[in-house]
Structure 1
């Protein structure tokens, strides 16, 4: 289950909205946003709560301004990866006895209370995370106004199968007829505020109905790369049995990927498939868009996709270096850059690597061993080192530059992946999203297409076990470690 981390209350610089923020700051385990149209008044309200020992955050929001709404959405996505609780409180009412023409009252009341809330909802509901909560602050004025409507309109507003388009059409008609002074002739109540709250109440029923069909309904999302066979397939199989959510099997070849999915479905499991070529930025972005659009993000990422030459392969070493590092390191790096920003709080990242990295590291110069073993190394330096390995390998000068012998292409790529894990884990420690754990794993020498089936002693299922274990570990259990058989092992000694 995903613990909530971000809550937002609209129209909260005073009155009921302010008290909602106050209460959430005391009871909600996460960031609470007070929003308001007037930035000065909003900041003053925040300071008042801070003086009470509370810690809300502020963001400007005018619910009638699409640019303002989109700015808030971008902020929530960039800083928190989404939203967990939305309280739509912002609203407006004319005083009793106000002499403003009724048509104007209708346009303003419905425009702000209903259409403003609708605009906010359309922007923010897609980024609500699983287990999220939405509260629309309405009024019993809606019930009183409904009783003043015609029998036909009462039936239409009360119909639980009413669609959003029909509701919008009815409220536009109310505004139009009110401006013409013909709203009562058309069956509408003579009460602008009450009609706006009818809209708000009915909108809630519609949204709730849509959420019942939504893919985010109390589920988590897991993605395993390179999973149509071998260890990746076994990781998907294990997660389908143990993970309470949607598990994506991805593969470069759509036909083989779909066949793998059907094989698992014949066993009573229910994985989903999405095409992914980790060396193709367009393919990576298509997966990212799918995960965001359908699920609002991702909870577990297992980077398993990889490549190795057979021992007897006679391909020139420079080509081996370019392909192994290009796929195993730079491909995984590209996937990580795209998908780590949409990992939700309490997410897990598992990079499948190999102890061949330790063998390759020992063959490097003392200087390179120290640089790769430095836990403060930055991503830019790691990328530069691996580019240099490829360049010198293609020039036949890799050993002169300290990169080990001509058996090390695969091992060097896995050095990169292990060190990348340490870097990602370090970055996640500073990330505002709570409890995202990044670890890497050596599955061991397993019987797969990559390694062959005669000499290896472990099955693919045995190799997958620790990756599954790391995908499901409890909070604070492990961060930035290299695992083998469910136990952390040293990389640089």
Structure 2
């Protein structure tokens, strides 16, 4: 399942998974018409360019389901569909550009078996991007990097940012002047929290990672990124297709070249 799959990096991830994943791949989008049009286009691409058949049941043809992760009814409807149809979900690529939906993935994990999660983060999601006024920024970084940080505490920090942004005190509180940065840092921190929780789960191969896909030529970057959407899909697809019984990466932050980056120290030059 790929969220926000009707264009950009999400579209390229769906295409890559259809070529390599031995199962059913779901492209999801908020707009049903656009989503279905994209699926029909992708089926033609897979058949004409890659030689992949589109017959039902092969597992190499993309399927569509409407999903708006800002709408709880939409989330519940898709979760119920997956549970009733397949009994669970193997892999989730959380690609949709969102402000901060901490319980979206948590709810899915609680609803049914979910083995692999890849959060599509950003170079902006590195902890070093929390750089408001010191020493408040240093204190925030320490809180976000704490091995004891919980989802509730992370939500509380995000709520503090929203409040500080509203009253104009975010800099003094240590936050940067970017809601995008804060949201992506939140996603990266959530990845670590979720993996710690799953480490104690008896089910095997429960893995959550996040990645920076690179500066990609998409609508979001105003088409200024030097990388193609196919290049942007490399690391997310790699994480979605991790083999069984691996020991790492788990709860990690990866760069677009699939290398594991220390989230708490200096990050590489963004590309």
* Alignment TM class, shorter chain as reference: 0.7 to 0.9
2:233 alignment partner, one of 436, 443, 464: 464
Task: Give distance in 2, aligned partners of 1:479 and 1:342.
Answer: 21
Q: Note the C-alpha offset of 1:270.
A: 1.0
* 1:481 lines up with 2:252 in the alignment: yes
Q: Does 1:402 align with 2:171?
A: no
Match of 1:490 among 250, 256, 262: 262
Larger radius of gyration: 1
Q: Provide the C-alpha distance between the structure 1 equivalents of 2:99 and 2:216, rounded to a whole number of angstroms.
A: 18
Counterpart position of 1:275? 66
Which residue number corresponds to residue 4 of structure 1? none
1:349 to 105, 117, 124: 117
User: Retained in 2: the 8 A contact 1:439–1:470?
Assistant: yes
Measure, in 1, the Cα distance between the counterparts of 2:93 and 2:11. 11
Partners of 2:151 and 2:107 lie apart in 1 by 15
Q: Which structure 1 segments of 5+ residues have no match?
A: 1-222, 307-326
CA contact (8 A) 1:348 1:436 kept: yes
1:376 aligns with 2:148: yes
Q: TM-score, normalised by structure 2?
A: 0.87
Q: State the 1:452 CA deviation.
A: 1.6
Corresponding residue for 2:25?
247
Mapped partners of 2:25, 2:110: distance in 1: 19
Task: Report the alpha carbon displacement of residue 343 of structure 1 after superposing the two structures with TM.
Answer: 4.8
Structure 2 unaligned segments of length 5 or more: list them: 48-59, 266-271
2:86 aligned partner: 295
- Structure-1 residue corresponding to 2:209: 439
- Aligned equivalents of 1:328 and 1:353: distance in 2? 11
Superposition pairs of residues 89-488 of structure 1, within 5 angstroms: 223-267=1-45, 268=47, 270-306=61-97, 327-330=98-101, 333-344=102-113, 347-358=115-126, 359-363=128-132, 365-404=137-176, 406=177, 408-453=178-223, 455-474=224-243, 475-476=245-246, 477-484=248-255, 485-488=257-260
Q: What whole-Å deviation, never above 9, does each CA across 1:239-287 have from its counterpart, x for those lacking one?
A: 0000000000000111111111011111225101111111110000001
Q: Equivalent residue of 1:328, what SS?
A: coil
CA distance in structure 2 between the partners assigned to 1:342 and 1:410 by the alignment: 29
The Cα RMSD (Å) is 1.4
Q: How many residues align?
A: 245
- Give the Å deviation of 1:384: 0.1
> How far did residue 328 of structure 1 move?
3.2
Q: CA shift at 1:397, angstroms?
A: 1.2
Greater helix proportion = 1
How far 1:224 moved relative to its partner?
0.6
Q: Deviations over 1:160-219 (max 9, x none)?
A: xxxxxxxxxxxxxxxxxxxxxxxxxxxxxxxxxxxxxxxxxxxxxxxxxxxxxxxxxxxx
The higher relative CO (CA closer than 8 Å, separation ≥ 6) is in 2
**Structure 2: how far apart are the matches of 1:228 and 1:343?**
25
Distance 1:372 1:355, change over 3 A: same
Q: Is residue 301–residue 348 contact of structure 1 (8 Å, CA) maintained in 2?
A: yes
Tell me if structure 2 keeps the 8 A contact 1:276–1:287: yes
Q: How far 1:482 moved relative to its partner? A: 0.3
Q: CA shift at 1:342, angstroms?
A: 4.2
SS across alignment from 1:224? coil
Cα distance in 1 for residues equivalent to 2:112 and 2:206: 8
Partners in 2 of 1:439 and 1:417 — Cα distance?
A: 10
Large movers: runs of 4+ above 4 Å: none
Residues of 1 paired with 2:172 and 2:179: CA distance?
15
Q: Cα distance, 1:387 vs. partner?
A: 0.6
